[in-house]
Structure 1
Amino acid sequence: MNILLKSAKIVCPGNKELHLKKRDILIKKGIIEKIATSIEAPSNTKLVDLKNLHVSLGWFDSGVSFGEPGHEERETISNGLYVASKSGFTDIVLYPNTYPVPDTSSDVVFLKERSLGKPTNLHPLGTLTKNAEGIDLAELYDMKNAGAVAFYDFKQQITNPNLLKIALLYAQNFDGLVFSHPQDVHIKGKGIVHEGEVSTRLGLKGIPALAEELQIARDLFILEYTGGKLHIPTISTAESVKLIANAKKKGLDVSCSVAIHNLVFTDDSLEDFDSSFKVSPPLRTRQDVKALIKGLKDGTIDFVTSDHIPIDVEGKRVEFDNALDGTLGLETAFGSLNPIFGVEQTISLLTKGRERFSLKTPILKEGEKACLTLFDPDEERNFTLENILSTSKNSMFLGAPLKGNAYGVINNNKTSI
């Protein structure tokens, strides 16, 4: 496939020669052949000349759920990757949120094979323990060799501290990355939203910030003892940011992410008991949001994630207490980050994180494989049901104003434009 991008403004902070320059980009058979002020379109070339066209390295998301196998009614791998590509993502890390869970090398191979031939690459997580039951370690080494980029019992606390200790020690033999969900199930109890003024007023059972912070503090103590690589996904409190900042000052090999919706919404959004706002970790306070944004700006928080979790209507259209946790996030990722951070920092956030998963970061220059995202950073719109490409429709962003929109991607010699 041959493609010519016309008058594309390049947003690539790591490339001083091209950053914020308007250029034509010629791509032949998936390789960037030429970048110049003006290029004549060769024969048999698809011309891409879009309004306010901007281009960057392909975007990366470290936390996405689909459903297949077992929950295809929520989302299939094929349509999920289509959604990701239209949302601007060339690479996604897939949560082990399936039935059965991927706890063997053959499960990981299945996920990889189902994703072949798409413009978006799928990088599966394997579970940390067999059946994600938190008792015995799964086949970590075999899954790593099959393509698993890290290990995670999806949204479940590792209740046994010795199990985390053993996992961190064992994974060092093959440079494995261990996830630990930041929520103490005993402190959480039957809580479903952030414990505070809003939960009290609405009569909803609360989850104290302590549930997250106590778990993180424990895990960091274990990491300091064992060494190894620990990732803490989707932190949500101001104190969590401080704990991780202190751990990094000690030299611990820890990384963390934050869900984009925890940067946009607070627990004030719960007033209407809309189950689209029921997520794990829960929406917190305005003070927490400010601390999370500051943590991203100063580098304490390593990267953002859409924490995209499709839930079918039967899982959401029930009493708030009984609704499943999760919101869509891929389609709204760029448009909700852009107003907070601006174009350049938003692109930096969306293109970082691959190295943590031992993945190669693409390079935007002649002779390199084209791994590109095309977007318009200035388009303003309110997000509607018609904008949702996912099979499920559980988005807390419905009706929210967004600034910026992805056109699609060019990757693997394929395009979603």
Structure 2
Amino acid sequence: MGLSVADDDKTVDLARPSRSSGLYPWVVFSLIFALMLSDYMSRQVVSAVFPILKAEWDLSDAHLGSLTGIVALMVGVLIFPLSVAADRWGRVRMLVASAALWSAATLFCAFADSYGEMLVGRFFVGVGEAAYGSIGAAVIVGLFAPERRASLTGAFMSGAMFGSVVGVSLGGVIAVNFGWRWAFGAMAIIGFVLVVAFRTLVNESRIALYRHPDDVQTPSAADGGRAPLSSLFKGVAVISTYLGSGLQLFVAGALLTWLPSYVNRYYDLAPDRAALLAAVFVLLIGIGMVGCGMISDSVSRLDHSKRWTSSIGFCLASAVLLFTAFSLEPGTLQLIFLGGGAFFAGGVSGPAGALVANLTHASIRASAIGTVTLANSLIGLAPAPVVVGALADRVGLNGALHVVPVASVLAALALVIGNRYYAAGLKNLSELTQNSTNDRSATT
């Protein structure tokens, strides 16, 4: 059966591909993942040059933390409205615009002559990156079956860590050998190249052809096919997921921002070598996102409620390992515990995205995942650099990081509460879906 679609002002008659013709979804996933790498390369490259900027501009740790925190803050402020806009006006268009903006803003940072100018550039990096994670995840979730969602969401979110690895390590090497301005310039160029590739290969029409059946949605709000935005906050289970994910990402955000400075100060390494060592732990965070997502999908294949149990375990493992690590003196044993804690630090990302997808209506999925990312930003990624930096000015960086695992314990508690109300959350979604279907039938 044919399907007519509009693509760049031309109407094309296409046969809907079978579910077995699954190459294109993986192409889309690869490009979205690559842009996620670029997103965090641009975001975290500044951490690699903290020691250089601190000396050149005479900045405090709080000032340095704000250069990372302002990005996460803008993500927190803008992610929800931009995610809603993407659900209504086109997710692919929003992805392209977002990537182009953060790349341009990163290039601006390369020409900054003061802390104030750098802060302005970082502000617009945050504006560009604000909704990318939520929209990208919504596109990916819509292309694949539910039993793959924790793995694929975790893999996509791990792009943040892998991008951070490349941003911090490559940025540190470039900064030492060519100057810190070239570190920002290189990240901007990579972003622009990926924008062109994505725009060339991906469009709304082809995404619609490969959408998974449970993501098919009515594009018009007027016909009753779209769930109300208020349903994003209906039920203890979904709210607990937002809270637990955000608290755990506080831990990941603290490690992402401050590990380069930590190994620089406590292991007496030059900025480039410190960046490379810190990159190993950031890489472990990314590997943990993928691995924990796969573990969660595996144990919950027959019972999706077990995603809660696995997420709670990831949080508690992170808390114990990191608390132990920062209680030890610098050395091999500390690095081993730090690596273990890093592995579990972002482990809830995949399961949290899958749980929210299961608890919310498909028509507002970008908005739902945007709400998770909003919580991750406002509760975790935005305050973590600034809070840890302010504490470090008073008690030292090791003392500040020693307190960070408390957030993992609080995250586990929030997820325990969410687990108790999961069945009620699924019931709410079933009623919402039925009401939406009835309203649509009455309208037609």
Fold conserved between structures, TM > 0.5:
no
| TM-score, normalising length: structure 1 | 0.25
TM-score by length of 2: 0.24
Identify, as 1 or 2, the structure richer in strand: 1
Q: Which has the higher helix share?
A: 2
